[in-house]
Chains A and B, each alone.
Chain A
Amino acid sequence: MFGAMALLLVPGNQMRALFSVALISSGLTFFWSLQLFYLFDGAQGAMQFVERAAWMPAFGIEYIVGIDGISLFLVLLTTLLMPLAILASWSIQKRVKEYLFFMLFLETGMLGAFVALDLFLFYVFWEVMLVPMYFLIGVWGGERRIYAALKFVLYTMAGSLLMLVAIIYLATRHAQITEVLTFDLLRIYQLHLPIDQQIWLFLAFALSFAIKVPLFPFHTWLPDAHVEAPTAGSVILAGVLLKLGTYGFLRYAIPLFPDATLLAAPVFIALSVMGIIYGAVVAMMQDDIKKLVAYSSVSHLGFVMLGLFALNMQGIQGSLYQMLNHGLSTGALFLLVGMIYERRHTRLIENFGGLWKPVPLFSTLLLIVMFSSVGLPGLNGFIGEFLILLGAFRVTPGWTALAASGVILSAIYMLWMFRRMIFGPVRHVENEKLQDLNAREIVILAPILLLIVFMGVYPKPFLDRMKPSVDLTLKRFATIQTAPIAADHAPGTP
Chain B
Amino acid sequence: MPRELHKTMDINLIPLLPAAQVLLTALIVMILDLFFKENEKGTLAWISLLGLALGGGETVLLWGSQEGAFAGTLLLDNFALFFTQIFLGAAALTILSSIHYIREMKIPEGEYYALILFATVGMILMAAANDLMVFFLGLETMSVAVYVLTGMWRSSARSSEAAMKYFLIGAFATGFLLYGIALIYGATGATNLDDITAYLIDPQDEWPLYLVGGALLLLVGFAFKVGAVPFHFWVPDVYEGAPTPVTGFMSVAVKTAAFAAWVRILMHSLSPLDSDWAFPLWVLAIATMTVGNLLAITQSSVKRMLAYSSIAHAGYLLIAIVSGEEWGGVPLLFYLLTYAFMTMGAFAVVTCLADAGAAPEDYRDFAGLGFNRPFLGMAMSIFMLSLAGFPPLAGFVGKFYVFRSAIFAGYLNLAIIGVLNSLLSVVYYIRVIVSMYMHEGGAPAKIFRQSPYLYSAIVISVFATLYLGILPATFLEWSRVAFFSLY
Residues of A within 8 A of B (CB): 54-59, 95, 98, 120, 123-124, 127-128, 130-131, 134-135, 138-139, 145-146, 149-150, 153-154, 157-158, 161-162, 164-165, 168-169, 172
C-alpha gap A169/B400 in the complex (Å): 12
Which of B381-436 touch A at CB < 8 Å?
Answer: 385, 390-392, 396-397, 400-401, 403-404, 407-408, 412, 415-416, 419-420, 422-423, 426-427, 430, 434
Inter-chain contact A169/B412, CB cutoff 8 Å: yes
Inter-chain contact A146/B434, CB cutoff 8 Å: yes
**B422: which A residues are within 8 A, CB to CB?**
157, 161
Within the complex, what minimum Cβ distance (angstroms) separates B285 from chain A? 16
Within the complex, what minimum Cβ distance (angstroms) separates B439 from chain A? 8
**Known contacts A131-B385, A172-B408; can you find 17 more A-B pairs with CB under 8 A?**
A56-B473, A56-B476, A58-B477, A59-B401, A59-B404, A120-B400, A124-B396, A127-B391, A134-B430, A138-B434, A138-B438, A139-B437, A139-B438, A146-B434, A150-B434, A154-B427, A165-B419
Q: A138-B434, A168-B404 are in contact. Are A58 and B473 (CB under 8 A)?
A: yes
Within the complex, what minimum Cβ distance (angstroms) separates B338 from chain A? 14
- B480 in the interface, Cβ–Cβ < 8 Å? yes
**B423: which A residues are within 8 A, CB to CB?**
154, 157-158, 161
11 residue pairs bridging A and B, Cβ less than 8 Å apart: A56-B476, A59-B404, A139-B437, A149-B434, A150-B427, A153-B426, A162-B416, A162-B419, A168-B415, A172-B404, A172-B407
Within the complex, what minimum Cβ distance (angstroms) separates B409 from chain A? 10
C-alpha gap A135/B396 in the complex (Å): 20
Inter-chain contact B419/A164, CB cutoff 8 Å: yes
Within the complex, what minimum Cβ distance (angstroms) separates B479 from chain A? 9
Question: Across the A-B interface, how many residue pairs have beta carbons closer than 8 Å?
Answer: 79
How would residues 456 to 487 of chain B score, 1 for a CB under 8 Å from any chain A CB and 0 otherwise?
00000000000000001100110010000000
Inter-chain contact A123/B437, CB cutoff 8 Å: no
Per DSSP, chain A at the interface is: helix
C-alpha gap A153/B419 in the complex (Å): 15
**A98: which B residues are within 8 A, CB to CB?**
371
* 4 A-B pairs closest in CB distance: A124-B391, A161-B419, A58-B476, A127-B391
C-alpha gap A168/B396 in the complex (Å): 13
**B420: which A residues are within 8 A, CB to CB?**
161
**B392: which A residues are within 8 A, CB to CB?**
124, 128
**A57: which B residues are within 8 A, CB to CB?**
473
**A128: which B residues are within 8 A, CB to CB?**
390-392
Q: Which of A127, A145, A153, A168 has the most CB of B within 10 A?
A: A168
**A131: which B residues are within 8 A, CB to CB?**
385, 390
Closest to A55 in B: B473
**B426: which A residues are within 8 A, CB to CB?**
153-154, 157
C-alpha gap A134/B430 in the complex (Å): 10
C-alpha gap A153/B477 in the complex (Å): 33
C-alpha gap A123/B397 in the complex (Å): 12
Closest to A162 in B: B419
**A157: which B residues are within 8 A, CB to CB?**
422-423, 426
**A124: which B residues are within 8 A, CB to CB?**
391-392, 396
Within the complex, what minimum Cβ distance (angstroms) separates B484 from chain A? 13
Inter-chain contact B473/A165, CB cutoff 8 Å: no
Inter-chain contact B391/A145, CB cutoff 8 Å: no
C-alpha gap A120/B423 in the complex (Å): 19
Within the complex, what minimum Cβ distance (angstroms) separates A170 from chain B? 10
Q: Which of A54, A135, A168 contacts B403 (CB 8 A)?
A: A168
**A138: which B residues are within 8 A, CB to CB?**
434, 437-438
C-alpha gap A54/B476 in the complex (Å): 14
**B415: which A residues are within 8 A, CB to CB?**
165, 168
C-alpha gap A434/B392 in the complex (Å): 47
How would residues 337 to 380 of chain B score, 1 for a CB under 8 Å from any chain A CB and 0 otherwise?
00000000000000000000000000000000001000000000
How would residues 291 to 304 of chain B score, 1 for a CB under 8 Å from any chain A CB and 0 otherwise?
00000000000000
C-alpha gap A138/B439 in the complex (Å): 10
**A56: which B residues are within 8 A, CB to CB?**
397, 472-473, 476
Q: A58-B480, A165-B407 are in contact. Are A127 and B390 (CB under 8 A)?
A: yes
**B427: which A residues are within 8 A, CB to CB?**
150, 154
C-alpha gap A165/B426 in the complex (Å): 17
Q: Which of B400, B434, B438, B472 contacts A164 (CB 8 A)?
A: B400
Within the complex, what minimum Cβ distance (angstroms) separates A175 from chain B? 8
**B404: which A residues are within 8 A, CB to CB?**
59, 168, 172
Within the complex, what minimum Cβ distance (angstroms) separates B426 from chain A? 6
Within the complex, what minimum Cβ distance (angstroms) separates B405 from chain A? 10
**A154: which B residues are within 8 A, CB to CB?**
423, 426-427
Within the complex, what minimum Cβ distance (angstroms) separates A330 from chain B? 27
Within the complex, what minimum Cβ distance (angstroms) separates A202 from chain B? 16
C-alpha gap A197/B437 in the complex (Å): 43
**A168: which B residues are within 8 A, CB to CB?**
400, 403-404, 407, 415
C-alpha gap A146/B431 in the complex (Å): 10
C-alpha gap A184/B400 in the complex (Å): 17
Inter-chain contact B403/A164, CB cutoff 8 Å: yes
**B390: which A residues are within 8 A, CB to CB?**
127-128, 130-131
Within the complex, what minimum Cβ distance (angstroms) separates A392 from chain B? 34
C-alpha gap A98/B427 in the complex (Å): 23
Inter-chain contact B430/A153, CB cutoff 8 Å: yes
Q: Which of B396, B407, B438, B476 contacts A146 (CB 8 A)?
A: B438
**B400: which A residues are within 8 A, CB to CB?**
120, 164, 168
How would residues 118 to 160 of chain B score, 1 for a CB under 8 Å from any chain A CB and 0 otherwise?
0000000000000000000000000000000000000000000
Within the complex, what minimum Cβ distance (angstroms) separates A159 from chain B? 10
Closest to B426 in A: A157
**B472: which A residues are within 8 A, CB to CB?**
56
Closest to A159 in B: B423
Inter-chain contact A165/B437, CB cutoff 8 Å: no
Closest to B405 in A: A168
Within the complex, what minimum Cβ distance (angstroms) separates A109 from chain B? 10
C-alpha gap A391/B396 in the complex (Å): 41
Within the complex, what minimum Cβ distance (angstroms) separates B350 from chain A? 22
Within the complex, what minimum Cβ distance (angstroms) separates A116 from chain B? 12
**B385: which A residues are within 8 A, CB to CB?**
131
Inter-chain contact B403/A145, CB cutoff 8 Å: no
C-alpha gap A164/B412 in the complex (Å): 12
Q: Which of B391, B403, B416, B473 contacts A123 (CB 8 A)?
A: B391
**A54: which B residues are within 8 A, CB to CB?**
473
Within the complex, what minimum Cβ distance (angstroms) separates A137 from chain B? 10
Which of B259-293 touch A at CB < 8 Å?
Answer: none
C-alpha gap A197/B385 in the complex (Å): 32
**B401: which A residues are within 8 A, CB to CB?**
59
**B391: which A residues are within 8 A, CB to CB?**
123-124, 127-128
Inter-chain contact A145/B476, CB cutoff 8 Å: no
Within the complex, what minimum Cβ distance (angstroms) separates A97 from chain B? 9
Closest to A120 in B: B400
Inter-chain contact A165/B416, CB cutoff 8 Å: yes
**A135: which B residues are within 8 A, CB to CB?**
437
C-alpha gap A98/B372 in the complex (Å): 13
Inter-chain contact A165/B371, CB cutoff 8 Å: no
C-alpha gap A168/B410 in the complex (Å): 12
Closest to B415 in A: A165
C-alpha gap A269/B272 in the complex (Å): 53
C-alpha gap A165/B421 in the complex (Å): 13
Q: Which of B385, B415, B420, B423 has the most CB of A within 10 A?
A: B423
C-alpha gap A59/B408 in the complex (Å): 12
Closest to B399 in A: A164
C-alpha gap A172/B409 in the complex (Å): 10
**B396: which A residues are within 8 A, CB to CB?**
124, 127
Within the complex, what minimum Cβ distance (angstroms) separates A104 from chain B? 16
C-alpha gap A164/B438 in the complex (Å): 29
C-alpha gap A127/B419 in the complex (Å): 14
C-alpha gap A158/B480 in the complex (Å): 31
C-alpha gap A165/B385 in the complex (Å): 19
Closest to B421 in A: A161
Within the complex, what minimum Cβ distance (angstroms) separates A384 from chain B? 33
C-alpha gap A142/B371 in the complex (Å): 18
C-alpha gap A373/B423 in the complex (Å): 36
